[in-house]
Chains A and B, each alone.
Chain A
Amino acid sequence: MKLVTAIIQPHKLDDVRAALNDIGIQGMTVVEARGFGRQKGHREVYRGAEYVVDFLPKIKLEVAVGDDLVERAVDAIEGAAKTGNVGDGKIFVATIDQAVRIRTGETGPDAL
């Protein structure tokens, strides 16, 4: 089992969700995040006081998938989230040691 974490542009969330649906992945967790990599921040001005704001709004998306689906999930996310501009984001894949479905108590791949 793998945890696929993706930091993407907020306006790409719907495309990514649709792409994951298409390969059979239904559940995911989405968090509103702020961050930056190589993307420059923007300027805000309040009564003459100029601020440079580095942190930009991002969406952090997590899906837990079985080993058989990992590669297709990563490809789906990459394809749907890409705009070609700086700030598109990153995808990380980590191993999950254990998973439990709370309602039924199922564990392992059955819990995903």
Chain B
Amino acid sequence: MPEIRNPNLQTPGTPGGSGGGGDMRSTMAFFVLMLAVLFGYQYFFKPKTAPIAPTQTQTQTQSQAPQAGTAPSQTQWAPAGAQASGTAPSIVATSETETTVENELYKIVFTNRGAQVKTWILKSYKDTTGKPLDMVQPQTAARFGLPLSFYTYEPALTAQLNQVLYQASATGTLLAPNSLTFHYAAYGLDVVKTLHFDSSYVISIDTEVKRNGSPVRALVQWPAGLGDMEEFRPGKAPTGSILTASQFAWLIDGKSDQQVAAKVGGNATLNEPYQYAGISDLYFAAAFLPSVPSDASVVTLHNTIELPGDLSDPSSTKKPANVIGLAVGDQSGSNSLRLYAGPKQMDVLNTIHSIGSDGKADGPTLEPLIHYGWLGIVAKPLYIALRFLHGLLGTGINNWGWAIIIFTATFNLIMLPTRFVMMKSSIKMARIQPKVDAIRKKYAHLKMNDPKRADMNAEIMALHQAEGINMVGGCLPLLVQMPLFIAYFEVLSNVIELRQAHWFWLTDLSLPDPFHVLPILIILSMFLTQFITPSPGMDPAQRRMMAFMMPVFFGFILWHYASGLALYWGTSNMINLSFQLIINNTKDGKELHAIAARKAAKKLGSGRGDQRTIQGRR
């Protein structure tokens, strides 16, 4: 409080100051600096990074043995560090077969070579080229391994486990619910991988690896990224699209956290009670849920792959891209896991519970995999409201664009009374502006720290009161509007439902307008609004600057970011514009225009007064 005096600060105010103005050049320099700081903050703090280094680094093994590429025949495999026991019967397959498992949501193709996943198609989603979305990234999988392969601490064993031909319990196409077992037994090894499928995105995995009868710790891995990773998008990334690097995300003891790909350690073993651990990119995730979290063991995998800087041009300079993966299992050696591989969609993730402390599947859900950016407190309710509206619209006009428009319109109508009062007040303010200017001029020679300044403010206040000006709304409209703008931004760039959501000519609400219609419309409407809005107490130069700069500034932003954002801003703009028009036609508004016109006429000389002159040229 101002009244409380800090005894350490008995210095009298440094006299003078620069009288408020400062010299213009240093001021401008400072302005630029401030902007730089702001943008710098945005740039560096945008990805929510958890600077948590892998906590328990137990073993640092060598990099994984190359698994793919050579593909030698299985007979070549020597017993990996084990005595061949001739007594056990061999269970091996003689040829490579494929098994396809399908339900309404996915179509997974397994190969019996290594009992791994070749492709994992999500039927409800398409990639940017319009093909069904594959959760397996072909380029990285070819180099670093396929999902559901094994990870062990012995490269030779890993290679063997992932290269031999297993005997599959079924080939051809299976329809979920179903189960599939891969079995391999030879050279003292006995490996069983059992998979269960139901109608959800989740599959359950049970594995057991034994060497000469004793269990070997072999974790199940999702080794190399997801199919939707933006680094691999064909063609140049659209301007303004946000590159969300893959993340390693986990949940321990009910607390979720994540780490950006670049900071994920390679081959670090983490023995923590993981309720889930997975990798996720902007819209999709693959997360393992251990059946016994207290015995869970996670190995993070980090590789880099050289990608051409411009993917449409293979000869462009290559730059490294991070590819992360993970292996999850049980410390005992036989694993029991569930795996979620699918979209980061709230409804879906909320139905998937991790294993709680009582050993039942009632722990926290996978929902923390979704991030709403740094303004999540506003963005998440906004998303829920939009989703509610979207559901309300029914199947007939099942469209997110309309949900955005309706929400914006409703919101603006709620804000209308405040807005109305504010607009009336500013009209009154404009009327008394000459008097206020006169008072200010009277005191203009005083320095900022002159106690007589108080008299000036008292005088202005008295004038306001006499005219009945009531600024009760204060900065409320603004304080509500800006966070909402940012929240829209976050929702549009993070929520999967808005990915590839279309509205008339907009093909994807999370990407910029392909035909530039909305930004142009917004610039025009903003300019018009500026032009017809009375804003007292601004000098003409300032006013002209604002009338041009603000629309250009917003237009630029909206040009480069999600078109859904432009849809919101445009709707809200149109409503405000029409409302301002109505206000301007009221008695007060007309009077004000008359004042403005008179002033303009006086300035330009009596003969050339244009009766239609509006505020902008006051």
A, B: real partners: no
Residues of A within 8 A of B (CB): none
Residues of B within 8 A of A (CB): none
